[in-house]
């Protein structure tokens, strides 16, 4: 059991302290992590391009054969490939914006 007078004595210095944490790019392995994430980003762009090609081929096949289902599914594949590429391209901006927004909360 913790006495009630003891809790404010510990909590008040912690609540009054200002913590400032900023990203640090000079940590060991930062360049390797950055290189790895850049490679993952490039492969994700390749996957979007592959999805666009497969979706486009399926769309052509569906139109040629009069398959409404194949055409609809292929349209979704093409749109998903475009959306994925947009999210990948805007990823750094979105993460930076979210981080800056989070640091401005008080």
> What does the pLDDT look like over 14-63, one tens digit per residue?
555 566 667 777 888 888 998 999 999 999 999 999 999 999 999 999 99
Alpha carbons 67 and 12: distance in angstroms, whole number:
69
Quote the domain boundaries for residue 77. Answer: 68-106
Task: Let me know if residue 100 belongs to a domain.
Answer: yes
Give the C-alpha separation, 87 to 93, whole Å: 10
Helix or strand holding residue 91 (H, E): helix 68-104
Alpha-carbon dihedral 34, 40, 44, 45, rounded to 10 degrees: 50
DSSP state of 24: -
**Residue 28 domain-assigned?**
no
Within a domain: residue 103?
yes
Give the predicted TM-score (pTM) of the model.
Answer: 0.69
Phi-psi region of 66 (alpha: psi -120 to 50; beta: other; left: phi over 0): left
pLDDT value at position 46? 97
Total domain count, the chain: 1
Report if residue 96 sits inside a domain: yes
């Amino acid at each position: 059991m913790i006495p009630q007078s003891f809790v404010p004595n510990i909590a008040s210095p912690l609540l009054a302290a200002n913590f400032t944490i900023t990203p640090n790019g000079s940590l060991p392995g930062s360049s390797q992590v950055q290189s790895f994430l850049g490679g993952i980003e490039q492969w994700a762009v390749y996957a979007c391009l592959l999805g666009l090609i497969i979706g486009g081929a399926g769309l052509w096949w569906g139109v040629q054969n009069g398959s409404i289902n194949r055409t609809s599914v292929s349209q979704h594949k093409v749109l998903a490939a475009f959306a994925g590429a947009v999210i990948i391209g805007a990823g750094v901006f979105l993460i930076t914006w979210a981080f800056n927004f989070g640091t401005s909360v008080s």
